[in-house]
Amino acid sequence: MKILVTGGAGFIGSHVNKLLLDQNHQVTVVDNLSHGSKDNLDSRVNFIQEDLNDQPKLEEILPGHDAVIHMASLIEVGESVKNPVGFVENNILGTIKLLEAMRKSNVKKIIFSSSACVYGTPLKTPITEADSLQQQENPYGLTKVSMEQLCILYHKLYNFDVTILRYFNPYGPGEQHIPETHAIPNFIKSVLAKKPIPLFWKGEQVRDFIYIKDLANAHILPLTQSGLHIYNVGTENGTKVIDVINKIFEIVGYKVEIDDKGERKGDVQTLVASSRKIKNDLGWEAKVGLEEGLKETIDFFNR
């Protein structure tokens, strides 16, 4: 298949690209490089530096592709609270222009990278796909809900094949955002530099940390699906953030100080997935445990 990957120069996209290429798919990456990097790109991809808000350019690029994996979005929760307009313009407007370009190019299969944040503050855990979406805690979550709804609308109106993947908390080798705002890479870099670890809520939040290689594989399996499907992608295991830090200390063999950052607006206390649906439908399940994944991630940052 010929696959277009938006945001493919980012952390998750780079792993998805490699899997696609290794399975003999042709890959076109569209990325504006506002957060991604050419250094993340496999030499086998066809790279086009472009912004999703340029719909006419997308209409030139899309013909001949069989599917789109849509991963291009601003993702940092705290930044979305500071800059909601930027998140709406980039995430929501970029998505509707992509979908319109797909419709006009007769490319009607999309796999969309969503987020567990769409559940807001969940009423229970583990969270299933049948659970209602609660009031959003931050603009990032609001944009993801809107992006999902746009994809679902195009399924209903134009018979698009749509698979929505709701990620929980990805981590792993290759995560090098500038600035880096995700917990695990920041923890590891602080520990390796023997500097205090920045920590919100005293690390009492509970998260479902999913290793990048497991997450990337979840994007390949839906390529043969038709219709509309929504899946959680997580390990089904919740871990306190402070326990992740203690596991990093255990792996490296020493501790550093904690920089207590107090509370942070927009955070949800607990997010843990039920991933039974994607396992039943596609045979996908997380295979890499937290300790193994942390060791590989620490090795990456050591290198």
pLDDT tens figures, 237-287? 999 999 999 999 999 999 999 989 888 776 778 889 999 999 999 999 999
The enclosing H or E element of 206 equals strand 206-207
Query: Tell me: the pLDDT tens digits for 158-205?
Result: 999 999 999 999 999 987 756 556 789 989 999 999 999 989 888 899
Q: Contact 120/166 with Cβ under 8 angstroms?
A: no
Helix (H, G, I), strand (E, B), or coil: what is residue 112?
Answer: strand
Query: Tell me: the pLDDT tens digits for 17-30?
Result: 999 999 999 999 99
At residue 266, the pLDDT reads 65
| CATH code, 2-171+211-234 | 3.40.50.720
Whole-structure pTM value:
0.93
Helix (H, G, I), strand (E, B), or coil: what is residue 78?
Answer: helix
Helix (H, G, I), strand (E, B), or coil: what is residue 295?
Answer: helix
Is the sign of the CA dihedral 150, 153, 154, 159 positive or negative?
A: positive
Domains of the chain: which residue ranges? 2-171+211-234
At residue 178, the pLDDT reads 61
Catalogue the active-site residues: 140
Q: How far apart are CA 112 and CA 50, in angstroms?
A: 19
